[in-house]
Amino acid sequence: MANVYITEYDDYRQHLPFGQPIVSTVAATSTASSSHALNARTSFVQFHTDGIMSYIVGPNTVALTSHMRVAADQTVDLCVPPGSGYNLYIITNT
């Protein structure tokens, strides 16, 4: 199982939050895609994983091991359109 530590910001240009960033932790499993709904104001997402996983960002989808793979102890930065209703979907990988 991999833990994914997610930080959401509402201004990607400064990489600083308007006030406090939204910080969440999600556990990825190998049997089902886990999901984290992004806040409507979020425009920049940074996540760090302590295990190997795959992810996809979008509305109403499912993470598969064939999606973008992230190595253990890696940090990923993503821009998302604010108000998009996107989720971060994750699943463990090898």
Q: Give tens-digit pLDDT for 28-69.
A: 777 767 788 898 888 888 999 999 999 999 988 889 999 999
Nearest CA to 3 out of 62, 48, 64 is that of 48
| Averaged pLDDT of the chain | 84
Q: Which domain holds residue 57?
A: 2-92
Domains: count for the chain: 1
The rounded radius of gyration (Å) of the Cα atoms in the chain is 12
Would you place residue 89 in the very low, low, confident or very high pLDDT band (cuts 50, 70, 90)? very high
DSSP for residue 11 = -
Tally of CB atoms within 10 A around 61: 14
pTM: 0.82
d(CA 55, CA 42): 18
User: Using one digit for the tens of pLDDT, what is the confidence trace for 61-72?
Assistant: 889 999 999 999
Share of the chain above pLDDT 70, in %: 86
In the block, residue with structure tokens 């940074």: 46
Given a cut of 90, is residue 21 above it in pLDDT?
A: no
